C-alpha cells in the first residue's frame, strides 16, 4: 500500500502545481478587478467633489 501511495505522489504534486497556478491566475484577475473598481470609485469621488 505504501509503495502505491509513493508512486501516485508525483501525480498529486503535479495536480497541486496546477491548482497553485490556477489560484495565482484567479488572484491576478481579482486584483485587476479590484484596482479597476477602486480607480472608478476614485474618479466618481473626484467628480462629486468637483461638482
Collapsed DSSP state (helix, strand, coil) of residue 42:
helix
Distance between CA atoms of 39 and 46, rounded to whole angstroms? 11
Number of domains in the chain: 1
User: What is the model's pLDDT at position 40?
Assistant: 95
Question: 5 pLDDT band (50/70/90 cuts)?
Answer: low
Sign of the torsion formed by the C-alpha atoms of 28, 34, 36 and 38: negative
Look up the pTM and report it: 0.55
Which domain covers residue 13, as residue numbers? Answer: 1-51
DSSP secondary structure of 4-35: HHHHHHHHHHHHHHHHHHHHHHHHHHHHHHHH
User: What is the model's pLDDT at position 19?
Assistant: 82
Tens digits of per-residue pLDDT, 14-46?
A: 777 788 888 899 999 999 999 999 999 999 999
Amino acid at each position: 500500500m505504501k509503495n502505491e501511495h509513493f508512486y501516485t505522489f508525483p501525480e498529486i504534486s503535479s495536480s497541486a502545481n496546477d491548482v497553485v497556478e490556477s489560484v495565482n491566475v484567479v488572484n491576478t484577475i481579482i486584483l485587476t478587478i479590484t484596482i479597476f473598481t477602486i480607480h472608478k470609485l476614485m474618479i466618481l469621488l473626484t467628480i462629486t467633489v468637483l461638482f
